[in-house]
């Protein structure tokens, strides 16, 4: 059978989440648009195999393979895409889900466009239980408001490169993905962001990328378990070092693309990681974060204007400012300060 779309799911000990994902996929599949589901199990020790086997009886188009040992996230991702046979592969985290109407919409997209290198779909943020929708958007400051076809590799990487790190938001053309994988040893990019490097190279080969404004995937927040146990600082280090190496190797350290992309990474991934660690009162984090970010970002204005204040600001001051903002609003606070300074009651 020919599949226009394969949903590729690398997983490890996600039995508690996998059923929700598979339900969200299977209930949307239509006869005129069959979808292949590929699951690469990275030697799970839970009951993932039993769950998948039960779903295979319900939906026969599920390809399942268990690795003999845990080979890490990056190798497992390459492995699951290699299992697929569809023209396009939707890279899918095993703890997320697809939103209602997503498959029907993507079927229309794939029928409309013949030569897309890939697609980035918008995301709905959920609480950890996937029941409560949360406000906000994890697409970086590109500020897309509608579907948009992009034709320039550098501009696309600047606009969406930081979002490429979110696995479930990306759909890639399997033929070009395989071309990149076969071209060189990718082990230097085994930093949990192998897909970001591959997508960057794919864009350089054929820069035809579509951003889809429809929220097609649901992101389960606060569930970053494939990095559990390594600590908040090690997670930050993965972001800082990984994104720097990928963007430098793709476009060059002196390129405007690298500089613009890094500014966005600082203001999104890095700032968010530091805020979260400080809120969780991780011991020694601020000092280690300062040393790391100074080394990599001292030449970027965003470090001095945006990131450094977050690192240095005591948490109690930040909490106080947040309380004032939430209870009084910006305009009212400004008016009160103005009255104090001018002496007017």
Do residues 94 and 14 touch, judged by C-beta distance below 8 A? yes
Asked whether residue 214 falls in the same domain as residue 242, the answer is no
The residue among 56 and 284 whose pLDDT is bigger is 56
Asked whether residue 128 falls in the same domain as residue 201, the answer is yes
The length of the chain, given as a count of residues: 345
pLDDT number for residue 319: 53
pTM: 0.90
Asked whether residue 87 falls in the same domain as residue 45, the answer is yes
The residue among 217 and 336 whose pLDDT is bigger is 217
Asked whether residue 107 falls in the same domain as residue 81, the answer is yes
In a domain, residue 343? The reply is: no
pLDDT number for residue 138: 86
Letter string b/e over residues 8-21, b meaning 16 or more CB atoms within 10 A of that residue's CB: bbbbbbbbebbebb
Asked whether residue 158 falls in the same domain as residue 246, the answer is no
Asked whether residue 189 falls in the same domain as residue 277, the answer is no
CA–CA separation, 71 and 11 (whole Å)? 11
pLDDT number for residue 227: 44
Do residues 307 and 270 touch, judged by C-beta distance below 8 A? yes
pLDDT number for residue 160: 96
Last-in-domain residue among 204, 227, 250: 227
Looking at residues 14-36, what average pLDDT do you find? 95
pLDDT band, residue 175 (cuts 50/70/90)? very high
Last-in-domain residue among 227, 262, 289: 227
In a domain, residue 28? The reply is: yes
In a domain, residue 72? The reply is: yes
Asked whether residue 253 falls in the same domain as residue 124, the answer is no
pLDDT in tens, 62-113: 999 999 999 999 999 999 999 999 999 999 999 999 999 999 999 999 999 9
- Does residue 261 register a pLDDT over 60? yes
Asked whether residue 88 falls in the same domain as residue 197, the answer is yes
For 271, the domain range is 232-313
Start-to-end C-alpha separation, the chain: 77
Query: Which of 114-118, 140-144, 226-230 has the highest mean predicted lDDT (pLDDT)?
Result: 114-118
pLDDT number for residue 334: 59
Looking at residues 137-154, what average pLDDT do you find? 87
> Running DSSP on this structure, what letter comes out for residue 33?
B
Looking at residues 249-259, what average pLDDT do you find? 98
In a domain, residue 323? The reply is: no
Looking at residues 296-300, what average pLDDT do you find? 97
- Does residue 305 register a pLDDT over 50? yes
In a domain, residue 330? The reply is: no
In a domain, residue 337? The reply is: no
Which of 278, 246, 277 lies closest to 262, judged by CA? 246
Per cent of the chain over pLDDT 70 is: 88
CA–CA separation, 190 and 193 (whole Å)? 7
C-beta atoms surrounding 124 within 10 Å: 19
In a domain, residue 322? The reply is: no
Last-in-domain residue among 227, 245, 263: 227
Whichever domain contains 69, its CATH number is: 3.90.550.10
CA–CA separation, 235 and 239 (whole Å)? 7
pLDDT number for residue 280: 82
- Does residue 281 register a pLDDT over 90? no
Annotate 82-131 with DSSP letters as a single string.
HH--SSEEEE--TT-EEPTTHHHHHHHHHHH-SS-SEEEEEEEEE-TTS-
Looking at residues 293-307, what average pLDDT do you find? 96
User: Rounded to the nearest 10 degrees, how much is the dihedral formed by the CA atoms of 282, 286, 292, 293?
Assistant: 120
In a domain, residue 19? The reply is: yes
Asked whether residue 264 falls in the same domain as residue 141, the answer is no
CA–CA separation, 339 and 345 (whole Å)? 6
The residue among 256 and 137 whose pLDDT is bigger is 256
Asked whether residue 98 falls in the same domain as residue 169, the answer is yes
Across the chain, mean pLDDT equals 90
Whole-Å CA distances, 210 to 119, 139, 172, 193, 263: 5, 14, 10, 20, 23
- Does residue 210 register a pLDDT over 70? yes
CA–CA separation, 208 and 193 (whole Å)? 21
Asked whether residue 22 falls in the same domain as residue 145, the answer is yes
Asked whether residue 222 falls in the same domain as residue 238, the answer is no
Do residues 171 and 86 touch, judged by C-beta distance below 8 A? no
How many domains does the chain divide into?
Answer: 2
């Amino acid at each position: 059978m020919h599949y226009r779309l394969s949903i590729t799911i690398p997983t490890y000990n996600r039995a508690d989440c996998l059923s929700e994902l598979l339900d969200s996929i299977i209930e949307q599949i239509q006869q005129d648009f069959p979808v292949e589901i590929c699951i690469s199990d990275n030697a799970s020790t839970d009951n993932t195999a039993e769950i998948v086997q039960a779903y295979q009886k319900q939906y026969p188009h599920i390809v399942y393979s268990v690795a003999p040992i845990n080979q890490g996230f990056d190798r497992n991702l390459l492995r699951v895409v290699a299992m697929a046979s569809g023209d396009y592969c939707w890279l899918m985290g095993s703890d997320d889900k697809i939103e209602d109407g997503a498959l029907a919409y993507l079927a229309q997209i794939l029928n409309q466009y013949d030569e897309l290198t890939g697609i980035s779909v918008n995301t709905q943020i959920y609480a950890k239980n996937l029941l409560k929708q949360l406000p906000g958007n994890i697409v970086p400051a590109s500020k897309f408001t509608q579907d948009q076809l992009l034709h320039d590799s550098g501009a696309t990487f600047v606009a969406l490169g930081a979002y490429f790190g979110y696995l479930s938001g990306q759909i890639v053309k399997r033929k070009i993905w395989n071309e990149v994988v076969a071209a060189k040893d990718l082990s230097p990019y085994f930093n949990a962001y192998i897909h970001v490097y591959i997508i960057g190279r794919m864009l350089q080969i054929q820069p035809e990328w579509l951003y889809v404004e429809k929220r097609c995937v649901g992101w389960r927040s606060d569930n970053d378990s494939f990095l559990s146990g390594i600590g908040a600082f090690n997670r930050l280090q993965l972001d800082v070092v990984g994104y720097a190496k990928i963007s430098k190797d793709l476009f060059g350290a002196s390129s405007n693309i690298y500089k613009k992309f890094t500014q966005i990474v600082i203001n999104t991934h890095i700032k968010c990681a530091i805020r979260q660690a400080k809120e969780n009162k991780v011991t020694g984090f601020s000092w280690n974060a300062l040393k790391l970010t100074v080394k990599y970002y001292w030449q970027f204005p965003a470090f001095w204007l945006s990131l450094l204040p977050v690192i240095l600001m005591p948490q109690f001051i930040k909490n106080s400012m947040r309380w004032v903002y939430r209870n009084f609003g910006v305009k009212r606070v400004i008016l009160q300060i103005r009255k104090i300074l001018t002496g007017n009651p």
